Chain A
């Protein structure tokens, strides 16, 4: 940097520019240009040629093909979006619950926390893929008197009880479905638990003490103090969970298969753009819905 007479503020600004140069170069060359190229590819066909590749502009043909005649695209997209919409609320509720539980004082809390964050370390799409058709666990469960993998944590009794108590069928299926997928939910809510836990610890204890002296029960304290103060974090966590669900789902598999198995690069780019637009739409809608109800303390 040139030595020049300037105020500290100006010098700081120059250093700021200097510090952001690597990121900005990365953003430009590894993000923005690829993003524009991918938009270009999605509107054309890509052919590998000698020493490179050539593109032929085709207009929205790829998109038309996806929406009207592709055998699996529509189904996969609705399925993965559907799964996301089903899973995110369960993950949010469970992680808030787990964070409140882990925030209390009890013996062995350090151990319990360590175990709850283990999934953050172990979550891996490669392992998850293998796990889904793991023969050994199935055999072991049937050997020990249970009936197959899914039986490990099934909930027929719960389902029957809830149905007989007169709850709506869709609601019951949602709850029991969540109970059946408990491992999947726990393993994808590690980071969310951490965020809630950090938030819970920043709540001033004076609020709780005042509430207790006024005679509030634990239930009231949760709904009137903890929950409103956690509401900004619910927004953060919802957005994080939605983004996190990209990592490994049927849609991302379909996109990479289309590109690297069947070499239809243009089609794959079009798929990823459709997927991206749907996600942005979901993020905007859910962000708007939640942020209207968020409570800010200061």
Chain B
């Protein structure tokens, strides 16, 4: 089939030179589009890198377009100091990594139940998962905040005359919500996992049961290793989204420093320390943004191939 088609193509090319022109002009147009769009995507990042290494004099120098004349690490030093970068990065990393692991486990468990371990009412519960995706998180913002502000596990504290514990500014809100599969976009992760588990052939499980595997063991030893693309997708998404998240972090944390809230406050902090020259302040601000992105970009450089492939194979499609 293939060779026939190729022969056909070769023939048309020889017989109709116009076909050739058409083909090449399409290739030209396509490369133009791809390169142009790639440039638009990369432009802000490249610009930030270029600005980060400049000295102040370079900003006013019209001959400097991309490569600075006086390369300096001054901006980095100032941005790191104002943002308290390393503390904030450590906190952000711990929260992102922790929630990622917990969410992957809890979402995979419930998704497997919805995909394969059906019970009475499980279809309806899956509809409820979809419902949690649809409700904007702002709708339950205040009750969520108050739940953790006066945390009272099933009303136990009140039973003994206590008042409930303040969990704001601790890691507990993140741990609890991701342990119970109710963290950032967890409905989506359950959906992805369920779609993938449903595509795994049933014979695989049946063979495991026949060989004497229990249901729990089958899940951890047979199903999860076969679901690596879905696991990778979900973990990457949840790590990255948690890293960039602004909403939950500012809801649960007042004093604990994490990157996205530090970035939100950087402008005012800079005005206090470095005076009111807006250009200088915004140079340091750019460097700060670059510093927040940098770990993700580094991670992506190593993981991108795996990421793209596994997302494509996840069957996110439905």
Query: Given contacts A116-B41, A124-B292, are A19 and B110 in contact (CB under 8 A)?
Result: yes
Q: Are B307 and A117 in contact (CB under 8 A)?
A: yes
Is the contact region of chain B dominated by helix, strand, or loop, or is it mixed? helix
Q: Are B244 and A19 in contact (CB under 8 A)?
A: no
**Chain B residues in 8 Å Cβ range of A251:** 138
Q: How far, in whole Å, are A253 and B182 apart by their CA atoms in the complex?
A: 22
- The answer to whether the Cβ of B11 comes within 8 Å of any Cβ in the partner chain is no
Question: Which partner residue on chain B sits nearest A183 by CB separation?
Answer: B40
Q: Are B135 and A276 in contact (CB under 8 A)?
A: yes
Query: Given contacts A22-B109, A22-B181, A232-B318, are A182 and B40 in contact (CB under 8 A)?
Result: yes
Question: Which partner residue on chain B sits nearest A97 by CB separation?
Answer: B33
Distance from A27 Cβ to chain B, minimum over Cβ atoms (Å): 6
Distance from B125 Cβ to chain A, minimum over Cβ atoms (Å): 7
Q: Are A127 and B289 in contact (CB under 8 A)?
A: yes
Query: Given contacts A13-B118, A256-B138, A280-B134, are A143 and B182 in contact (CB under 8 A)?
Result: no
Query: Given contacts A126-B244, A134-B282, A243-B133, are A31 and B140 in contact (CB under 8 A)?
Result: yes
Q: Are B117 and A23 in contact (CB under 8 A)?
A: no
Contact residues of A between 210 and 269, Cβ < 8 Å to B: 212-213, 232-233, 236, 243, 246-248, 251-252, 255-256, 259, 265, 268-269
B243-261 near A? 1/0 per residue, CB < 8 Å: 1101100100000000011
Q: Are A22 and B51 in contact (CB under 8 A)?
A: no
**Chain B residues in 8 Å Cβ range of A53:** 146
- The answer to whether the Cβ of A24 comes within 8 Å of any Cβ in the partner chain is yes
B232-272 near A? 1/0 per residue, CB < 8 Å: 00000000100110110010000000001101101100000
Number of A residues with CB within 8 Å of any CB on chain B: 100
- The answer to whether the Cβ of B283 comes within 8 Å of any Cβ in the partner chain is yes
Distance from A29 Cβ to chain B, minimum over Cβ atoms (Å): 7
**Chain B residues in 8 Å Cβ range of A252:** 136, 138, 247
Q: Are A136 and B138 in contact (CB under 8 A)?
A: no
Q: How far, in whole Å, are A209 and B5 apart by their CA atoms in the complex?
A: 8
Chain A contact residues, CB within 8 Å of chain B: 8, 11-20, 22-27, 29-31, 33-35, 37-38, 41, 46, 51-53, 98, 101-102, 104, 106, 110, 112-127, 129-131, 134-137, 139-140, 143-144, 153, 182-183, 186-187, 194-195, 197-199, 201-202, 209, 212-213, 232-233, 236, 243, 246-248, 251-252, 255-256, 259, 265, 268-269, 272-273, 275-276, 279-280, 283
Q: What are 28 A-B residue pairs whose CB atoms fall within 8 Å in the complex? A: A12-B117, A16-B117, A19-B112, A20-B114, A20-B122, A22-B180, A26-B180, A29-B147, A30-B147, A30-B177, A35-B139, A38-B143, A52-B163, A102-B34, A106-B31, A121-B240, A122-B297, A124-B244, A129-B264, A130-B266, A136-B286, A143-B62, A195-B316, A198-B312, A232-B318, A233-B318, A275-B136, A279-B136
Chain B contact residues, CB within 8 Å of chain A: 1, 5, 8, 27, 30-31, 33-34, 37-38, 40-45, 47, 51, 59, 62, 65, 106-107, 109-110, 112-114, 116-120, 122, 125, 128-129, 132-147, 150, 163-164, 176-177, 179-182, 190, 209, 215-216, 219, 240, 243-244, 246-247, 250, 260-261, 263-264, 266-267, 278-279, 281-283, 285-286, 289, 292-293, 296-297, 300, 304-305, 307-308, 311-318
